[in-house]
Amino acid sequence: MSAAGPPEGARPLRREDVRGAASAPSAEEAWRSAFELRDGELYAEGVPLATIAERYGTPCYVYSRAALEGAWRSLDAALAGVPHLLCYAMKANANLAVLDVFARLGSGFDIVSGGELARVVAAGGDPGRTVFSGVGKSAAEMRQALDAGILCFNVESAAELERLDAVARERGRVAPVSFRVNPDVDPKTHPYISTGLKESKFGIAYGDALPLYRRARAMPGIAIRGIDIHIGSQITDLAPYREAARKVLDLVDRLAGEGIRLEHVDLGGGLGIRYRDETPLPVDEYAAMLRGLFEGRAEKLVLEPGRWLVADAGVLLTRVEYLKPGPAKHFAIVDAAMNDLLRPALYDAWHGVDPVRPRAGPGSRWEIVGPVCESADFLAHDRVLDLEPGDLLAIRTAGAYAMAMSSNYNARPRAAEVMVDGDRAHLVRRRETASELHAAESTLAR
């Protein structure tokens, strides 16, 4: 079901609401305090999750503004003294309210499509602080980005460079570029999210980069601005970061020796978080490594954090529809499904599951599954929970790659999104209706 509006007293977020940095919590403090039990009930900041479910229905994504701000500020503060730009990798969560929160903090953005650029502009973000990544930019997207005045294109192939030069000259413009170089470094993460190996579709081979920079220097539609790498996601070890950064900085120095001086070095994102038993990199250790690498250098550091900023800032609220005990497994059938959270089906990913109003009983082992007609439709395996039909569950770390990867499979309307700011809840995306799903379609003429 969909609610008519925000809770009484709520108002839209406004630009003047930016809080002072002095009062900002650390990232860990922010996410740990954003969703916590109070008197036996799970809250989002100052709002009971049960109240949100009652008003906006389930399934429903709930985000904490305090967690978003705390994560961004903690990384920004850790890099104090190093000239830098944080460009939020918005593919993790592109809701306008999320982008708005980061834009107010002065964040840049990392985009991978023209649609994402349109969202940056709609949310009040600065195209001049936006980098355009991705291996398949169309000519139309290039024109759109040139007209918007983006910071740079992260070029990923010689063919893309040739097209961009032609489009820029046709437009009467010069395209600012950074080459995404593939350093062939193993990030030791899931193979689907490893992007810096030579087998990957991403980036320009390390050995091909220098000759391509030489070609780019002679192109009238191209202005060389930087260099970019991104070796993967959910990384919890400093070693691959350090190895990749050193390789790219060596290339930067070789370019400088040929008179090609870069304005920035973009080391991508990929910082890991804790879903279950991972040990994430302490942000201070990560920042200390970067500070050591960039001390005395003229280039600005650019980073593209995504999941690290938003994952812990969100939960997916879902309600138990049926309990179905069986001889081999017990199934708790909930109203959220793989179309609402694809990561478990796609990566066999683990997400924490917490009852909104937990009971003290010993519980049973449950498979948390949805109503979609697929055996892969599960949200969690083998969780010990004391459940009854109608119970509310909060699926943790759903701020990243949940709504962003959701779909209308089985003709299911996508869920509502709510942003909590202190003791106020804001509906930042209403639930879709079934009629909207086929509004753009037509039947054959009779």
Residues whose CB falls within 8 Å of the CB of residue 61, separated by 6 or more in sequence, listed in order: 314, 315, 316, 317, 398, 399, 402, 403, 415, 416, 417, 418
Q: What is the pLDDT of residues 157-170, one digit of tens each?
A: 999 999 999 999 99
Residue 311 has pLDDT above 60, yes or no: yes
- Token pair for residue 248? 């790219």
Residues whose CB falls within 8 Å of the CB of residue 84, separated by 6 or more in sequence, listed in order: 76, 300, 301, 302, 303
Q: Which residue has the tokens 């990867």?
A: 405
Q: How far apart are CA 416 and CA 428, in angstroms?
A: 8
Q: Catalogue the active-site residues.
A: 373
Residues whose CB falls within 8 Å of the CB of residue 110, separated by 6 or more in sequence, listed in order: 87, 88, 89, 90, 91, 130, 131, 133, 269, 304, 306
Residue 98 has pLDDT above 50, yes or no: yes
Residue 188 has pLDDT above 80, yes or no: no
pLDDT band (50, 70, 90) for residue 405: very high
What are the DSSP calls for 187-219, one per residue? --S-GGGB-SSTTSSSSEEHHHHHHHHHHHHT-
Position 26 scores a pLDDT of 45
Q: What is the pLDDT of residues 323-334, one digit of tens each?
A: 999 999 999 999
Residue 153 has pLDDT above 50, yes or no: yes
- Mean of the pLDDT values across residues 170-178? 98
Residue 2 has pLDDT above 50, yes or no: no
Q: Which residue has the tokens 């500020």?
A: 73
Strand partners, 305: none
Question: Greater confidence, 239 or 185?
Answer: 239
pLDDT band (50, 70, 90) for residue 446: confident
Q: How far apart are CA 49 and CA 427, in angstroms?
A: 14
Position 198 scores a pLDDT of 54
Residue 196 has pLDDT above 90, yes or no: no
pLDDT band (50, 70, 90) for residue 183: confident
Residue 152 has pLDDT above 50, yes or no: yes
Position 25 scores a pLDDT of 44
Q: How far apart are CA 443 and CA 347, in angstroms?
A: 37
pLDDT band (50, 70, 90) for residue 203: confident
Position 204 scores a pLDDT of 93
Position 29 scores a pLDDT of 52
The percent of residues above 70 in pLDDT, for the chain, comes to 89
Q: pLDDT averaged over the chain? A: 90
Q: How far apart are CA 386 and CA 382, in angstroms?
A: 13
Burial group, residue 194, by CB count within 10 angstroms (0-12, 13-18, 19+): buried
Residue 189 has pLDDT above 70, yes or no: no
pLDDT band (50, 70, 90) for residue 7: very low
Strand partners, 84: 301
Position 216 scores a pLDDT of 98
pTM: 0.90
pLDDT band (50, 70, 90) for residue 186: low
Position 14 scores a pLDDT of 38
Q: What is the pLDDT of residues 207-265, one digit of tens each?
A: 999 999 999 999 999 999 999 998 888 888 888 889 999 999 999 999 999 999 999 99
Q: How far apart are CA 328 and CA 331, in angstroms?
A: 10
Least confident window among 4-13, 259-268, 401-410: 4-13
Q: What is the pLDDT of residues 36-77, one digit of tens each?
A: 999 999 999 999 999 999 999 999 999 999 999 999 999 999
Residue 290 has pLDDT above 70, yes or no: yes
Check the CA dihedral 136-138-142-147 and report its sign.
negative
Q: What is the pLDDT of residues 8-36, one digit of tens each?
A: 333 334 333 333 333 444 445 555 569 99
Residue 1 has pLDDT above 60, yes or no: no
Q: What is the 3-state secondary structure (H, E, C) of 3-65?
A: CCCCCCCCCCCCHHHCCCHHHCCCHHHHHHHHEEEECCEEEECCEEHHHHHHHHCCCEEEEEH
